[in-house]
Chain A
């Protein structure tokens, strides 16, 4: 069974630039969620994708957008980067429609905005 993978591991960007982060879900899972974790805090929900559509969104501005592909992998795009976007970005996969809502997380992408 393949776990959740994310790329890249680390990334440094300049304020105003755009970034794309990638996530491959665990085999057998059809739902991907993205979370942002600032230093010293718990992860905050950004959005979730199911059947290639956004299935729910947290309190994040529209410059945070995403995609889900037919193979259930996903991308998180952030435009017009701000210094406060520096954080660990975590992707989680799960199987919507099962009796379990358990989510499994990838290793994360650490984004630094300078």
Chain B
């Protein structure tokens, strides 16, 4: 099956800093989603981005499908951005395959 690798595994930021999270995948995909998992476990949809660039407030994402990677940018980080960020891909076999996640800690 498709392999999804996220880096870095852990990220510690000072409030106000910018950061980039990376997601590499091993095969072509029909769908790529970025999620933020809150402390209670719910996965919050950030982006549905099989290709191209999208922005939502301080967050933006870029997927380069031909090179099999996606990037999530967090600008002017806030303590509420803390949590685990997951990248997940759907390659047509009816399931989302998740990476292991990046744990982000934003310090005040």
Contacts and interface: CB of A to CB of B under 8 A. Distances in A.
Contacts, number: 58
B30 A33 contact: no
Interface residues of A, number: 25
Contact of B93 (A35, A56, A88, A104): A56
Given A42-B86, A42-B101, A107 B41 contact: yes
A100 B41 contact: no
A55 B95 CA distance: 10
Contacts of A56: 93-95
A43 B98 contact: yes
Interface in A22-62: 33, 35, 37, 41-45, 48, 55-56, 58
Interface string B16-56: 00000000000000110101000011110100100000000
A101 B95 CA distance: 10
A71 to B, nearest CB: 21
Interface in A2-34: 33
Contact of A42 (B30, B45, B48, B98): B98
Interface in A83-114: 88, 90, 92, 100-108, 110
Contacts of A90: 41, 43
A103 B40 contact: no
B43 A102 contact: no
A44 B48 CA distance: 19
A58 B90 CA distance: 13
Contact of A48 (B41, B48, B94, B101): B94
Nearest to A50: B94
15 contacts: A33-B96, A37-B41, A42-B4, A42-B86, A45-B97, A56-B93, A58-B95, A100-B48, A102-B31, A102-B33, A102-B45, A102-B48, A104-B45, A107-B40, A110-B41
Interface of A: 33, 35, 37, 41-45, 48, 55-56, 58, 88, 90, 92, 100-108, 110
